[in-house]
């Protein structure tokens, strides 16, 4: 089975979970969000931590539905420390890490194999969309703080108001204004859904490939 790793003699191995697993993560994210709406009263007044806990529960419920064969192949972990290198100090505490047993066996890597960072966004709130880039894309992934040895990572954007298109425009406007046109969010490269987007971002290490991010924008019900 080919996981797309780099040859060992040219540097560190970068985990590539491939299209199939990326599609599964996005699909379970979306299905899990539907379950989260049924499991708890999530609304726009909630913070990221509370919404993320509901999403995690929903994703686990989605796995119980045995989507494909993922129930036995994917583990949705609680927030956990992540290590991108050999340093003893963890990079940080991730929102929703995901483990694949077959990837662990292929790479001999016990850390999470995919990481989902969660942020609130709104189509009419430029500040929240800026935070999505600065605190999410940049600080977590482009910096290699999280997923430093991964080729692919994920973000969940909790849409508090406005459409997915409006949120995407706000995020892309921020990137464009900073000369980062090539990093703008575009149609998802692995899944054709209105709520999904993809982007690619360079990382500081000369030996590290750019990281592909897949974004799931999940609409939060208005506060009752």
Percent of the chain with pLDDT over 90: 62
Range name among 9-23, 143-157, 181-195, 200-214 with the lowest pLDDT average: 9-23
12-28: pLDDT as tens digits: 578 899 999 999 999 99
For residues 168-193, average pLDDT: 97
Residue 108 is predicted with a pLDDT of: 81
For residues 159-188, average pLDDT: 97
Cβ atoms of 188 and 164 closer than 8 Å: no
For residues 169-178, average pLDDT: 97
To the question of pTM greater than 0.95 for the whole model, the response is no
Residue 107 is predicted with a pLDDT of: 81
Residue 81 is predicted with a pLDDT of: 64
For the chain, give the mean pLDDT: 87
The residue with greater pLDDT, 75 or 42, is 75
Residue 84 is predicted with a pLDDT of: 57
75-125: pLDDT as tens digits: 999 876 665 555 556 566 799 999 998 888 888 878 889 999 999 999 999
User: Could you write out the DSSP letters of every residue in the chain?
Assistant: ----PPPGGGSPPPB--HHHHHHHHHHHHHHHHHHHHHHS---TTS-HHHHHHHHHHHHHHHHHTT-TTGGGTEEEPPS-EE-SSS-SS--EE-SEEEEEHHHHHHHT--S-SEEEEEEEE-TT-HHHHHHIIIIIIIIIIITSSSSTTBSEEEEEEEE-SS-HHHHHHHHHHHHHHTT-GGG--EE-SS---TTEEEEEE--SSTTSPPEEEEEEEEEPPPP-
Residue 175 is predicted with a pLDDT of: 98
Residue 40 is predicted with a pLDDT of: 72
Confidence check: pLDDT of 205 > 90: no
Spans of all domains in the chain: 12-219
């Amino acid at each position: 089975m080919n996981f797309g790793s780099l040859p060992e003699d040219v540097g560190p191995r970068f985990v590539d979970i491939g299209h199939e697993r990326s599609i599964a993560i996005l699909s379970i994210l979306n299905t899990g969000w539907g379950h989260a709406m049924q499991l708890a009263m999530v609304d726009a007044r909630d913070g990221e931590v509370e919404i993320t806990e509901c999403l995690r529960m929903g994703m686990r419920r989605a796995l119980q539905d045995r989507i494909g064969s993922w129930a036995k192949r994917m583990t949705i972990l609680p927030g956990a420390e992540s290590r991108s290198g050999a340093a003893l100090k963890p990079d940080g505490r991730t929102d929703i890490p995901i483990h694949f047993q077959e990837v662990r066996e292929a790479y001999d890597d016990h850390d999470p194999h995919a990481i989902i960072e969660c942020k609130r966004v709104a189509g009419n709130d430029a500040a929240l969309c800026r935070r999505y880039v600065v605190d999410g894309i940049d600080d977590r992934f482009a910096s290699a703080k999280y997923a430093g040895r991964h080729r692919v990572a994920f973000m969940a954007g909790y849409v508090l108001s406005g459409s997915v298109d409006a949120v995407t425009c706000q995020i892309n406007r921020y990137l464009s204004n900073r000369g980062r046109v090539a990093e703008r969010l575009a149609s998802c490269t692995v899944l054709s859904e209105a709520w999904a987007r993809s982007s690619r971002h360079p990382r500081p290490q000369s030996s590290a490939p750019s990281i592909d991010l897949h974004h799931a924008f999940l609409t939060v019900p208005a506060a009752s």
